Amino acid sequence: MIESFYNLLAVFGFHHPLHPIVVHLPMGLVTGSVAFSLADMKWPDKNYATTAYHCILLSLIAVVPVYIAGLLDWQQWFAGDVNQWIIIKLILGVALTGMLFFTVQQKKKGAPQKKLFVYYLICLGICGGLGYSGGELVWGG
């Protein structure tokens, strides 16, 4: 079934993995949360903290298609082969989703902006690990 899906895409001239296309959305949003949180520290009257939170919330939503595309690509391009980089990506993916969810919950409970900034940085660090392990998976060491 997965191969049929990729064959259908090929009919339209698309012969590439899907995951790299969608992965930039949550990664960029997490980066944006850090940037807007920093901006809020400089200009607290501009409401950048709300934008930072919205970035995290949208990132949490956006991880769903990223994981679906990643699983499809893993089956199509790697034949479901499990190696250390896949395991690392799975662990970090769960960690990112958990951290994003935790951060959203903390914001709803009224966590101070400085504490949320630390959570945003943790999410960014996890994203860095995901990006690094993805690079190693595709291009090797």
Mean pLDDT of 97-122: 98
Q: How confident is the model at residue 43 (pLDDT cuts 50, 70, 90)?
A: very high
In angstroms, the CA 96 to CA 115 distance is 17
Q: Output the furthest CA–CA distance in the chain (Å, rounded).
A: 53
Q: How confident is the model at residue 119 (pLDDT cuts 50, 70, 90)?
A: very high
- Grouping H, G, I as helix, E, B as strand and the rest as coil, residue 45 is helix
Task: Report pTM.
Answer: 0.92
Provide the pLDDT for residue 1.
82
Helical residues (DSSP H) of the chain, grouped into ranges: 2-11, 19-22, 24-42, 48-78, 84-108, 113-139
Provide the pLDDT for residue 140.
83
Provide the pLDDT for residue 141.
61
pLDDT of 112 strictly over 90: yes
pLDDT, one tens digit per residue, over 48-106 is 999 999 999 999 999 999 999 999 999 998 999 999 999 999 999 999 999 999 999 99
Under 8 Å CB-to-CB from 60, ≥6 apart: which residues? Answer: 26, 97, 100, 101, 104
pLDDT, one tens digit per residue, over 126-140 is 999 999 999 999 888
Percentage of the residues of the chain whose pLDDT score is greater than 90: 92
